[in-house]
């Protein structure tokens, strides 16, 4: 997929995916490091404080006005984790110059992004106190708002319980206390550290003058002495021992069941497509075992699905149910897992899972951001196959391989969120 | 052979084909060089259509709330016991459906076997099969779907707002209905609704991707039978709707961390002419950009006082039967935001809209409409919206650029009147009494 990669500094690479399929160009700038209890809350704030004001556009309002002028270009912050990695930075999309009268939107956007990253708005040599405080407040609000989405809340709680001593349970934002104590000085130090030490991956998708952009970036990095940090490898737990059970009460109408499993394998072990196929068959589609049996046949729920996070080797099954049906739902979910373990997969199920999976791989080529995300994910796992390559490997997968994958899965945690006066 | 009309837009470098199939169905084919293709089969039938009759019938039929959505779920069940999802499983297409106020849509996207998938789509939506048993089973599933939305702050906020803005207009009906209303649904009522609204003359198909228009017509020939001529008379009872809002506040409590709020502006100034209505719509979108963007005074004043979060959204719905504008955010003090909103609007009325902000807003709206042509889903959706609204997709960029400062100002002064404002708030539990 990548047309060209240019190293612009030590540990800083710009990757170009050339295509004329779209009316927009896409650009992203990503810092990559490990999730860390101390550093992640600071890193979470970084993209936010940077987009709050730069030297040339010293306020949010001025940056936004500039974006409107540049034909409603979008510039959003990225703050995400993929397995053990914390990825934060900026993502932008902009209209091709073809559709804009006399304005070179793309090169103006690159200048704006460089200004935001390399020339932040400072007061007394550090980030603005006022901006820091208002961004802290935003993050604190977001932490407090985690209870608003019950599905995601139960997923997060399940992970915290399941991975108590592991890197995966660390919240990238930190807790309210961690955020409250952050100072503009600490934040500025974290910024300097990120530019100096973190691995940086930059992506450009569309029709851009990549050599010119690389030169611009090179010039900015020349002023920085790069010393790239080493990231230690992380051992993951391959199987669960005793099943942990936690039930919590909130004022909710519907119970949320979230079951956490260990799959025993990660993306580094290869066979990415087998894990994906398993998930399709088990609970990832409207023809999956969970959808057909737990939702349609038993009429227990509206949502019941499985999800695999391949970089951490975890699987989740989530269902929204009447609290009184909890045990019935849990049993039904495990019963369906046993069916896959016993290779009780019809040729039609296998065939449709393969088609559906290939369909989603091929879909990636239709969106600049999906292509970028795929490539970034591959970069992090050291596997550089294209979607089309994975799609081809799907074809030769047998149901025995899928059953074998399922047999390696063990139940670790059962988390249940329910209303106060509900039974079950 | 139907007469195929070609529409082209040179600036965009795009074209599409449209024809009226002999069955009565309106078809749009938008070729696009993408890996995946998208199909959208829609009926002009949504949650607001709960009182109707066919021309010639004496009595209006009134049906339980939530039935359009219920029908959408039930369409997936085929007579041979198969689920429509299983059909698409054979081709690898990813299928789905949704119901909104004024439409029900069935869709799929696929990178392979497009024409075969299209056959399945046309076939299952034109073959209803309901029994009392299957209806009962669905009541359990949809019951859980409604429960899920009961716990969903955004859904509660929106419902509260519509019920504050409108007294009679059917748009205040919840798309899913209630546990009680869906309990009244029977197979007979489903058939009645089906044969009224799933007549091909009341439907449209839009496909976008690497697709040939002649192949699409052949599939229509193969699957679709000619639909009987009929005229649907719908009673939205919207003529009796007062200009002012029904109530000023709608407040409820949920397990949220901080109040979330939506200010609604009810708009009764809706043009009868579709093209004029489209112009009004984009003018209101520009107003939202002028008044509520992050570069503006409204956002920055509230943000600097920590009264709102970074997420401030403004959106507009503008159709023949209802029109409203919504500004939503989170705030520790919704009443303070509301008061500021009222005074900010009054001040802007005195000073007039900022001319530079208008230019930037028009540019932004123009650009978003061009960006839309990067997505097969968005294109098909837009074709259907233009079908339902009786407007032309390719005229949108010109319409946007034809809107001037004076026009936007006129819309601004007409739209913003204090008796047209209402607010919906979802409070954290234990802070306020429910109203």
Q: pLDDT tens digits for B118-149?
A: 999 999 999 999 999 889 888 888 888 888 88
Q: Which of residues 168-227 of A touch B (CB under 8 A)?
A: none
Are residues B360 and A71, on separate chains, in Cβ contact within 8 Å? no
More confident residue, A99 or B403: B403
**CA-closest candidate to residue A346, choices A403, A389, A410:** A403
Q: What per-residue confidence (pLDDT) applies to B431?
A: 58
Q: What per-residue confidence (pLDDT) applies to B433?
A: 45
Of B36, B255, B360, the CB nearest to A65: B360
Distance CA B81, CA A74 (A): 47
Checking if the pLDDT of A95 tops 50, the result is yes
Count of CA atoms in the C-beta half-sphere (13 A) of A24: 24
- A83 Rama sector, left if φ>0, alpha if ψ -120 to 50, beta otherwise: left
Q: pLDDT tens digits for A244-289?
A: 999 999 988 889 999 999 999 888 887 889 999 999 999 988 889 9
Question: How confident is the prediction for chain A on average, in pLDDT?
Answer: 93
**Mean pLDDT throughout B9-28?**
97
Q: What per-residue confidence (pLDDT) applies to B76?
A: 94
- Domain-by-domain residue ranges, chain A? 4-222, 244-418
**How close does chain B come to A315, measured CA to CA in Å?**
22
Q: What per-residue confidence (pLDDT) applies to B65?
A: 95
Does residue B72 carry a catalytic annotation?
A: yes
**How close does chain B come to A13, measured CA to CA in Å?**
27
Checking if the pLDDT of B411 tops 70, the result is yes
Checking if the pLDDT of B435 tops 50, the result is no
**How close does chain B come to A413, measured CA to CA in Å?**
23
Q: What per-residue confidence (pLDDT) applies to B280?
A: 98
Q: What per-residue confidence (pLDDT) applies to A116?
A: 98
Distance CA B387, CA B43 (A): 11
Q: What per-residue confidence (pLDDT) applies to A422?
A: 60
Using an 8 Å Cβ cutoff, are A368 and A26 in contact? yes
Question: How confident is the prediction for chain B on average, in pLDDT?
Answer: 94
SS3 B7: strand
Q: What per-residue confidence (pLDDT) applies to A423?
A: 52
- The CATH classification of domain A4-222, taken from the options 3.40.50.1820, 3.40.920.10, 3.30.830.10, 3.30.360.10: 3.30.830.10
Angle subtended by helix axes B376-389 and B274-292, to nearest 10: 130
Q: pLDDT tens digits for A170-206?
A: 999 999 999 999 999 999 999 999 999 999 999 999 9
Q: What per-residue confidence (pLDDT) applies to A424?
A: 46
Q: What per-residue confidence (pLDDT) applies to A317?
A: 96
Q: What per-residue confidence (pLDDT) applies to A41?
A: 97
Asked, colleague to colleague, whether A4-222 and A244-418 share their fold, the answer is yes
**Active-site position among B8, B10, B58, B72:** B72
Checking if the pLDDT of B22 tops 90, the result is yes
Q: pLDDT tens digits for A145-178?
A: 888 888 999 999 999 999 998 999 999 999 999 9
C-alpha distances (whole Å) from B257 to each of A120, A134, A387, B304, B434 are 32, 18, 40, 21, 17
Q: What per-residue confidence (pLDDT) applies to B69?
A: 95
Q: Give A236's pLDDT tier (boundaries 50, 70, 90).
A: confident
Distance CA A308, CA A261 (A): 9
**CA-closest candidate to residue B392, choices B285, B287, B274:** B274
Q: pLDDT tens digits for B194-238?
A: 999 999 999 999 999 999 999 999 999 999 999 999 999 998 877
pTM of the full structure:
0.89
Q: What per-residue confidence (pLDDT) applies to A146?
A: 87
Are residues B363 and A362, on separate chains, in Cβ contact within 8 Å? no
Fold of A244-418: Cytochrome Bc1 Complex; Chain A, domain 1 (3.30.830)
Q: What per-residue confidence (pLDDT) applies to A303?
A: 82
Using an 8 Å Cβ cutoff, are B199 and B227 in contact? yes
Of B35, B95, B150, the CB nearest to A365: B35
Distance CA B406, CA B412 (A): 10
Are residues A358 and B111, on separate chains, in Cβ contact within 8 Å? yes
Q: How many CB atoms lie within 10 A of CB A268?
A: 16
3-class SS string, chain A: CCCEEEEEECCEEEEEEECCCCCEEEEEEEEEEECCCCHHHHHHHHHHHHCCCECCCCCHHHHHHHHHHCCCCEEEEEEEEECCEEEEEEEEEEECHHHCCCCCHHHHHHHHHHHHHHCECEECCEECHHHHHHHHHHHHHHHHHHHHCHHHHHHHHHHHHHCCCCHHHCCCCCCHHHHHCCCHHHHHHHHHHHHHHCEEEEEEEECCCHHHHHHHHHHHHHCCCCCCCCCCCCCCCCCCCCCEEEEEECCCCCEEEEEEEECCCCHHHCCHHHHHHHHHHHHHCCCCHHHHHHHHHCCCEEEEEEEEECCCCEEEEEEEECHHHHHHHHHHHHHHHHHHHCCCCCHHHHHHHHHHHHHHHHHHHHCHHHHHHHHHHHHHHCCCCCHHHHHHHHHCCCHHHHHHHHHCCEEEEEEEEECCCCCC
Q: What per-residue confidence (pLDDT) applies to B231?
A: 96
- A373 Rama sector, left if φ>0, alpha if ψ -120 to 50, beta otherwise: alpha
Q: Give me the percent of chain B exceeding a pLDDT of 90.
A: 84
Enumerate domains of chain B plus CATH numbers: 5-234 (3.30.830.10), 249-428 (3.30.830.10)
**How close does chain A come to B366, measured CA to CA in Å?**
8
Checking if the pLDDT of B331 tops 80, the result is yes
Interface predicted TM-score of the whole assembly (ipTM), two decimals: 0.85
Q: Structure tokens of A45?
A: 């704030």
φ and ψ of B13, to 5 deg: 70, 35
Q: What per-residue confidence (pLDDT) applies to A299?
A: 75
Q: pLDDT tens digits for B265-288?
A: 999 999 999 999 999 999 999 999
Q: Which of residues 71-110 of A touch B (CB under 8 A)?
A: 71-73, 93, 95, 99-100
Q: How many residues does chain A have?
A: 424
Q: Does A250 touch chain B (CB under 8 A)?
A: yes
Q: Does A421 touch chain B (CB under 8 A)?
A: no
Checking if the pLDDT of B56 tops 50, the result is yes
SS3 B319: coil
């Amino acid at each position: 997929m990548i047309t060209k990669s240019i190293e612009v500094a030590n540990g800083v690479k710009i990757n170009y995916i050339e295509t004329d399929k779209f009316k927009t160009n896409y650009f992203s700038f990503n810092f990559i490091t490990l999730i860390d209890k101390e550093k992640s809350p600071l890193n979470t704030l970084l993209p936010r404080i940077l987009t709050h004001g730069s030297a040339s556009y010293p306020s949010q309002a001025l940056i936004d006005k500039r974006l409107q002028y540049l034909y409603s270009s979008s510039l959003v912050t990225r703050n995400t984790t993929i397995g053990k990695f914390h990825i934060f930075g900026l993502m932008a999309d902009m209209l091709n110059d073809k559709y804009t009268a006399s304005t070179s939107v793309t090169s103006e956007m690159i200048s704006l992004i460089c200004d935001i990253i390399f020339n932040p708005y400072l007061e007394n040599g550090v980030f603005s106190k006022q901006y820091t405080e208002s961004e802290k407040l935003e993050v604190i609000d977001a932490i407090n708002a985690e209870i608003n989405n019950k599905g995601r809340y139960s997923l997060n709680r399940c992970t915290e319980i399941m991975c108590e001593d592991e890197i995966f349970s660390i919240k990238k934002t930190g807790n309210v206390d961690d955020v409250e104590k952050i100072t503009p000085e600490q934040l500025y130090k974290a910024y300097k550290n990120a530019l100096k030490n973190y691995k940086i991956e930059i992506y450009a998708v569309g029709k851009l003058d990549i050599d010119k952009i690389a030169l611009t970036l090179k010039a900015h990095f020349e002023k920085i002495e790069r010393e790239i940090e080493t990231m230690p490898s992380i051992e993951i737990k391959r199987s669960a021992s005793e099943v942990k059970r936690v039930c919590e009460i909130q004022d909710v109408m519907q119970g949320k069941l979230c079951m956490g499993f260990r799959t025993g394998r990660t993306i580094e072990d290869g066979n990415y497509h087998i894990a994906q196929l398993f998930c399709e068959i088990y609970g990832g589609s409207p023809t999956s075992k969970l959808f057909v049996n737990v939702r349609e046949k038993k009429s227990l729920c509206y949502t019941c699905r499985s999800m695999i996070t391949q970089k951490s080797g975890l699987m989740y099954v989530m269902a929204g149910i009447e609290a009184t049906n909890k045990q019935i739902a849990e049993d039904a979910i495990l019963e369906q897992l046993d069916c896959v373990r016993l290779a009780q997969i019809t040729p039609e199920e296998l065939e449709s899972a393969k088609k559906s999976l290939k369909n989603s791989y091929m879909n990636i080529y239709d969106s600049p951001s999906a292509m970028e995300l795929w490539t970034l994910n591959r970069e992090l796992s050291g596997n550089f196959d294209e979607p089309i390559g994975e799609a081809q490997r799907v074809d030769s997968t047998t149901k025995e391989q899928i059953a074998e994958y399922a047999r390696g899965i063990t139940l670790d945690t059962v988390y249940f969120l329910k209303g106060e006066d509900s039974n079950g | 052979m139907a007469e195929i009309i070609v529409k082209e837009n040179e600036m965009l470098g795009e074209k599409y084909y449209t024809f009226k199939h002999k069955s009565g169905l309106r078809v749009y084919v938008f070729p696009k060089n993408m890996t995946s293709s998208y199909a959208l089969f829609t009926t002009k039938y949504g949650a607001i259509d709960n009182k109707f009759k066919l021309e010639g019938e004496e009595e209006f039929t009134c049906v339980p709330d939530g039935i359009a959505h219920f029908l959408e779920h039930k369409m997936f069940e085929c007579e041979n016991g198969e689920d429509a999802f299983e059909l698409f499983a054979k081709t690898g297409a990813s299928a789905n459906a949704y119901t909104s106020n004024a439409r029900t849509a069935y869709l799929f996207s696929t990178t392979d076997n497009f024409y075969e998938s299209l056959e399945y789509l046309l076939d299952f939506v034109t073959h209803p099969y309901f029994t009392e048993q299957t209806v009962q089973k669905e009541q359990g599933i949809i019951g859980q779907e409604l429960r899920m939305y009961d716990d969903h702050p955004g859904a509660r906020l929106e419902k509260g707002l519509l019920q504050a803005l409108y007294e009679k207009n059917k748009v205040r009906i919840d798309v899913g209905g209630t546990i009680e209303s869906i309990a009244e649904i029977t197979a007979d009522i489903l058939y009645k609704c089906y044969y009224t609204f799933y007549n091909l003359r009341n439907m449209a198909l839009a496909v976008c991707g690497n697709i040939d228009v002649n192949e699409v017509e052949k599939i229509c020939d193969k699957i679709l039978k000619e639909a009987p001529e009929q005229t649907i008379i719908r009673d939205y009872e919207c003529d009796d709707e007062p200009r002012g809002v029904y109530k000023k506040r709608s407040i409820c409590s949920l397990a949220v961390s901080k109040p979330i709020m939506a200010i609604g502006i009810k708009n009764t100034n809706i043009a009868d002419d579709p093209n004029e209505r489209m112009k009004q719509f984009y003018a209101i979108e520009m107003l939202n950009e002028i008044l509520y963007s992050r570069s503006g005074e409204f956002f920055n004043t509230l943000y600097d006082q920590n009264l709102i979060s970074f997420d401030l959204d403004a959106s507009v719905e503008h159709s023949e039967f209802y029109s409203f504008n919504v500004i939503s955010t989170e705030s520790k003090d919704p009443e303070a935001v509301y008061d500021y909103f009222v005074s900010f609007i009054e001040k802007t009325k005195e000073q007039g809209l900022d001319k530079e902000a208008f230019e930037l807003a028009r540019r932004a709206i123009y650009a978003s409409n061009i960006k839309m042509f990067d997505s097969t889903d968005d294109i098909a959706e837009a074709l259907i919206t233009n079908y339902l609204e009786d407007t032309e997709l390719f005229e949108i960029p010109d319409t946007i650029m034809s809107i001037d400062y004076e026009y936007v100002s006129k819309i601004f002064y007409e739209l913003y009147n204090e008796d047209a404002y209402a607010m919906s708030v979802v409070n954290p539990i234990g802070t306020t009494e429910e109203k």
